Structure 1
Amino acid sequence: MLFPRVPDYHKPGKPLVPTGLGVIYVLASTAYLFILHPLESSDPKGLSRALTLATCILFGGFMGLLDDWMNLRWRYKAFLPLMAAIPLATLAYKLHVRTSIGLPFLGTIDFGNYYFFVVIPILVTIVTNTVNQLGGLNGLETVCPAIVIIGLIIISGSNALLLLMPLAVWLVLAFFNFKGKIFVGNTGSFAIGLTLAAFAIIADLKWSLIISILPYIFNSSLILLNYFLFGTKANVSFDGKKLFSDHRRSLITLITYHRPLTEKQAVLTISALVAASTVAAVLASIYVL
């Protein structure tokens, strides 16, 4: 078989499903961005948004493959995205992008050079890992990022061209993933996480991205707080028809806590939360930010 198969634990009989198809997203997106590079408006400094985004997607795919191959511990996965921050910080520094960020109740804060060497690495690390942590259900790790990408495209102006092909490929994968036909694997989840972080930095949509991924941040906060404070992990059960949980240690277990849902119901519920936060981000970008 071209792709390895793994059991789908949330389906009756645990059928084997091909995994790792996120590599299709990585290859198609980088090929598109390589083609787009010569068509970009010439930059006197020789900088390329397309090549920078392609580099980040490739690194995300490599990190996912490495995780699938070696089953990396979280202590390593948490900091590997820092390497992808290097080309982003370089691009932002040479383009003299805005180093200030507007924060609610605090106003606008100018981070100066700390923006390139502190803020960008932190943003890349948080976004990549939070996106990777919200998964495990058919469609969850593909539909939700697609919603966020669409929101970013709406408010990104001419930079939207960078994500047209990546979005198209990701939507195809999301369709088959939602139907339970494929898994994108860590290759896909890390690559799409880095796509979101990199594009938000390139298009100067950092705060919009943060608002869009609030459900992701909430999920990761629940997981990490329970793990570090109580030493417990989130685990959702499947009775052959519906998902259920006897604890609230993640977003999935929270919505299925003593309230069984089918896999599709759980995915659509979380997708609706992401859609709501993304709409809020778009409206905030238009009328506030």
Structure 2
Amino acid sequence: MWSIVILLILSILAYVVTDELIPKLKDLFIKAGLYGIDLCKSNNKKIPEAIGVVSGCIFLVTSFIFIPIAFGNGLMERELFPHNEFAELLAALLSICCMLLLGFADDVLDLKWRYKLLLPTVASLPLLVVYYVNFNSTTFVIPIPLRQWLGSSINIGLLYYVYMGMLAVFCTNAINILAGINGLEVGQSVIIALSIIIFDIIELRGDQFKAHMFSLYIMTPYLATTLALLKHNWYPSKVFVGDTFCYVSGMTFAVVGILSHFSKTVLLFFLPQVINFLYSVPQLFRIIPCPRHRLPKYNAEMDLLEPSRTLIVKKEMTIINKALVQVLTILHLIDTIEDSESITINNMTLINFTLIKLGPMSEGTLTAKLLIFQCVCTLIAFLIRYPMASYFYDT
């Protein structure tokens, strides 16, 4: 366990370095044209963009420094060197590094949405290759109530690799979709990282000790650098994290979920992101018009955020459009304003939905409420993972 102590020391140093480096690099990003204007503020101050690349780089450097410490015993006795575990860690860091590079390219070039789906798929390839070489386990355990029809387990073969690739795509984009207000992207990532670390600590007593140690090796420095980034991104934000941070975070969570064999548990920790994705599907797939930005609307007079809206012209509505809007209205999932020629509805994100149900509020309050919801969902995830799981699985 001495390696964990050293990892904690390195992570604390990573926090300090990230915290010190971000303010010093802010002007450099602005001079390079990497800045934005906070649309939820009344001022037009330039705020550096894509600062997630700083925390991402420090996270990777810390992980690289830790490699000889994690495998110190193996380096001393080469015949006992754990080649498989070493390959897993290198593949994990390679995938994260690829996502850092591709995410920064997205921030600089402002790539189209179709590329946002392709990039995580490409970056996950080293991960999937190592999984195939070391494990190649493509079997799902069937819940107890379904075993009389499907058996105790089912091997889905290639579809399992498709599932893992889709997991990487979902994790990277789910954080990016639930974003747009100060501190939300980084805040939700901190809570998910803490949830995974708590889960790892609980499971260290089980038979998957090495897998959860591997997860801790990655999540601990990630959490440290992300906490430093949160300090500067919290309301009122001094920096914007950019797509770089969302991509690195999503790939990091996907990496530990896949290689530590608890991808379904990781998805449980993504419950708010899953809800937000499902709620956003009509706009993401253009069934309902989707503007480029679905940020909440800033009311300068009241200094509060209100739900943003999108316009649907009645003449252009298909039968599917009409039926969907009607169902969502009946279920009170959208707020509609209708006249003779058009229907105006709120943009379908969890952020706007919160504003509809709880009313206009300040940006800092809105972020806090959404992060409280993330914490509540984490408690639900642990409830599902432990007490409830015994009803569906043998352990």
TM-score, normalised by the number of residues in structure 2: 0.68
| Closer, same or farther: CA 46–172 of 1 in aligned 2, 3 Å | closer
Aligned to 1:193: 250
Gaps of 5+ in 2: 1-26, 72-80, 201-211, 310-345
SS of corresponding position for 1:48:
helix
Residue 122 of structure 2 corresponds to residue 78 of structure 1: no
Greater relative CO (CA pairs within 8 A, separation 6+): 1
CA contact (8 A) 1:142 1:174 kept: yes
CA contact (8 A) 1:101 1:109 kept: yes
- 1:63-104 CA-partner distances (Å, limit 9, x unpaired): 221111221111111122111221111222222165334577
Residue 287 of structure 2 corresponds to residue 229 of structure 1: yes
Aligned to 1:39: 69
Residue 6 of structure 2 corresponds to residue 3 of structure 1: no
Cα drift, residue 46 of structure 1: 6.7
Tell me which amino acid in the other structure corresponds to 1:128. T
Aligned to 2:350: 251
Tell me which amino acid in the other structure corresponds to 1:229. I
Query: Which deviates the most, 238-247 or 219-228?
Result: 219-228
Structure whose alpha-carbon radius of gyration is higher: 2
Distance, in Å, in 1 between the alignment partners of 2:234 and 2:153 is: 41
| Closer, same or farther: CA 112–56 of 1 in aligned 2, 3 Å | same
From 222, 225, 233, the counterpart of 1:177: 233
From 95, 100, 103, the counterpart of 2:139: 100
Aligned to 2:374: 274
SS of corresponding position for 2:126:
helix
Cα drift, residue 30 of structure 1: 1.2
Distance, in Å, in 1 between the alignment partners of 2:120 and 2:55 is: 18
Distance, in Å, in 2 between the alignment partners of 1:25 and 1:204 is: 26
TM-score, normalised by the number of residues in structure 1: 0.91
Distance, in Å, in 2 between the alignment partners of 1:17 and 1:29 is: 23
CA contact (8 A) 2:99 2:119 kept: no
Aligned to 2:220: 164
Residue 115 of structure 2 corresponds to residue 58 of structure 1: no
Aligned residues: CA RMSD: 2.3
Distance, in Å, in 2 between the alignment partners of 1:125 and 1:152 is: 19
Tell me which amino acid in the other structure corresponds to 2:281. L
Cα drift, residue 235 of structure 1: 4.1
Cα drift, residue 249 of structure 1: 0.9
Distance, in Å, in 2 between the alignment partners of 1:226 and 1:163 is: 33
- 1:42-64 CA-partner distances (Å, limit 9, x unpaired): 32447433322221221221122
Cα drift, residue 239 of structure 1: 0.6
Tell me which amino acid in the other structure corresponds to 2:61. A
Residue 192 of structure 2 corresponds to residue 155 of structure 1: no
Distance, in Å, in 1 between the alignment partners of 2:275 and 2:110 is: 25
CA contact (8 A) 1:33 1:51 kept: no
Tell me which amino acid in the other structure corresponds to 2:117. A
Distance, in Å, in 2 between the alignment partners of 1:169 and 1:106 is: 43
Aligned to 2:267: 210
Distance, in Å, in 2 between the alignment partners of 1:109 and 1:138 is: 44
Cα drift, residue 38 of structure 1: 2.5
SS of corresponding position for 1:249:
coil
- 1:130-169 CA-partner distances (Å, limit 9, x unpaired): 1111111100010001100111111223231221111101
| Closer, same or farther: CA 116–39 of 1 in aligned 2, 3 Å | farther
Distance, in Å, in 1 between the alignment partners of 2:128 and 2:157 is: 10
Tell me which amino acid in the other structure corresponds to 1:243. L
| Closer, same or farther: CA 16–37 of 1 in aligned 2, 3 Å | same
Tell me which amino acid in the other structure corresponds to 1:197. A
CA contact (8 A) 2:56 2:225 kept: no
Cα drift, residue 252 of structure 1: 0.9
